[in-house]
C-alpha cells in the first residue's frame, strides 16, 4: 500500500510538472508574441529620388521626359497592428502607416527633339525648354509587413502597399501643347515599396527603401499620359516611441 501511494504520488507530481512546464513555455511564447520586436509607434523622415522606367508621351522620334527626375522629402508615422506571428519565412508584424510629402519636385532639362511628319520629309529639330513642377503628396493608405524572425535581430526587412494623392503647382506630366493635351494638377500614386530598418540603437533605425510608383490622373484631365512605372530610391531615419528589441 505505501508503494502504491508512492507510485500514484509520483505520477501525479509528474503530471503537475509537465503541466507547469507547458504553461511556462506557453507564457514565454505569448510574451514574445505580445511584446514583439517593434513597439507601437514609429516616426520618421525620408529623402528620395527616382526616374520613370516607362513613359507614354512622345514628341517626334524622342521620348519626351526620358530625362525626368523626381526628388522628394517625406514625413512618416507608423502604428504596429499585430503581435509577431506567421510561419518562419513570413513571420512578422503588420503595420499601418501614413506618409506626408511636403516637398516634391519633378525636373526635365532642356532637350532637343527630332520631329518628322508625313507632310515634310525633311526632319526638323525642336528645342524643348526645361521643365520644373513643384508639388506635395499625401499617402494615407500604407500597409506594411515587417519580417521578424526573432526578437533580437538588428535588421528588419519589410514590404509595403499603398495609394496616395499628388498635387502639383502646374499640370503634370507636362502637356505637349496640342489640342486636347491638357493633363491634370491632381494625380494618384499607387505603389509597392521594399525596404529595411537597420537598427543603430534600440530606439533609432536607419531606413533604406525602393519604391515602384505609378502616377496617373485617372482621367481628370483631357489627356492622361501619366507615368506608368517609375522607380524611386530613398534613405531615412526612424524614431521608435518604445523600446524596439528585447534583451
CA distances from 113 to 24, 59, 61, 62, 122 (A): 73, 7, 7, 6, 14
* Residue-level pLDDT at 168: 95
Distance between CA atoms of residues 174 and 64, nearest Å: 9
Structure confidence at residue 119 (pLDDT)? 65
**Fold that domain 37-240 belongs to in CATH:** Porin (2.40.160)
**SS3 state of residue 119:** coil
Predicted local confidence at residue 4, as pLDDT: 43
Q: Using CA atoms, how far apart are residues 175 and 162, in angstroms rounded to an integer?
A: 27
pLDDT the model gives residue 225: 79
Say which residues have a Cβ less than 8 Å from residue 163's Cβ, sequence separation at least 6. 139, 141, 188, 189, 190, 191
- Residue 61 vs residues 115, 125, 173: alpha-carbon distances, Å: 6, 10, 18
Instruction: Give this prediction's pTM.
Output: 0.74
CA distance 226 to 187: 8
Cell of 73: 522629402
Hey, is 151 helix, strand or coil? Answer: coil
Domain boundaries, the chain: 1-35, 37-240
Q: How far is CA 245 from CA 10, 36, 90, in A?
A: 42, 8, 19
Scan for cell 502504491, then name that residue. 4
Residue owning grid cell 528620395: 48
Per-residue DSSP letter, 191: E
pLDDT in tens, the chain (247 residues): 444 444 334 434 444 333 333 333 333 333 334 333 446 799 999 999 999 887 655 554 555 556 789 999 999 999 988 888 888 888 999 999 999 999 999 998 777 767 666 666 677 777 777 788 999 999 998 999 999 877 667 899 999 999 999 999 988 887 665 556 788 999 999 999 999 999 998 889 999 999 999 999 988 888 887 888 899 999 999 998 864 444 4
Q: β-strand 155-172 against 131-147: which pairing, if any?
A: antiparallel
Cα–Cα distance between 217 and 219 in angstroms, integer? 5
Which is it for the CA torsion 58, 60, 65, 67, positive or negative?
positive
Q: What is the pLDDT of residue 118?
A: 66
Per-residue cell: 173: 506630366
The residues pairing with 58 across neighbouring beta strands, listed in sequence order, are: 63
Amino acid at each position: 500500500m505505501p508503494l502504491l501511494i508512492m507510485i500514484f504520488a509520483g505520477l501525479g507530481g509528474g503530471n503537475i510538472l509537465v503541466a507547469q512546464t507547458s504553461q511556462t513555455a506557453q507564457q514565454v511564447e505569448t510574451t514574445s508574441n505580445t511584446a514583439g520586436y517593434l513597439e507601437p509607434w514609429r516616426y520618421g523622415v525620408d529623402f528620395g529620388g527616382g526616374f520613370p522606367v516607362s513613359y507614354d508621351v512622345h514628341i517626334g522620334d524622342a521620348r519626351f521626359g526620358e530625362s525626368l527626375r523626381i526628388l522628394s522629402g517625406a514625413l512618416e508615422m507608423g502604428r504596429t497592428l499585430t503581435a509577431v506571428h506567421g510561419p518562419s519565412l513570413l513571420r512578422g508584424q503588420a503595420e499601418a502607416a501614413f506618409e506626408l510629402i511636403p516637398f516634391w519636385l519633378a525636373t526635365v532639362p532642356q532637350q532637343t527633339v527630332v520631329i518628322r511628319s508625313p507632310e515634310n520629309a525633311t526632319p526638323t529639330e525642336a528645342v524643348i525648354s526645361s521643365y520644373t513642377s513643384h508639388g506635395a503628396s499625401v499617402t494615407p493608405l500604407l500597409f506594411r509587413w515587417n519580417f521578424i524572425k526573432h526578437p533580437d535581430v538588428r535588421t528588419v526587412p519589410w514590404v509595403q502597399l499603398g495609394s496616395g494623392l499628388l498635387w502639383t503647382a502646374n499640370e503634370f506630366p507636362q502637356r505637349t501643347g496640342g489640342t486636347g493635351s491638357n493633363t491634370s494638377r491632381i494625380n494618384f500614386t499607387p505603389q509597392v515599396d521594399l525596404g529595411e530598418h537597420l537598427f543603430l540603437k534600440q530606439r533609432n533605425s536607419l531606413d533604406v527603401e525602393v519604391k515602384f510608383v505609378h502616377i496617373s490622373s485617372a482621367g481628370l484631365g483631357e489627356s492622361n499620359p501619366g507615368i506608368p512605372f517609375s522607380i524611386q530610391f530613398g534613405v531615412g531615419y526612424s524614431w521608435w516611441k518604445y523600446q524596439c528589441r528585447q534583451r
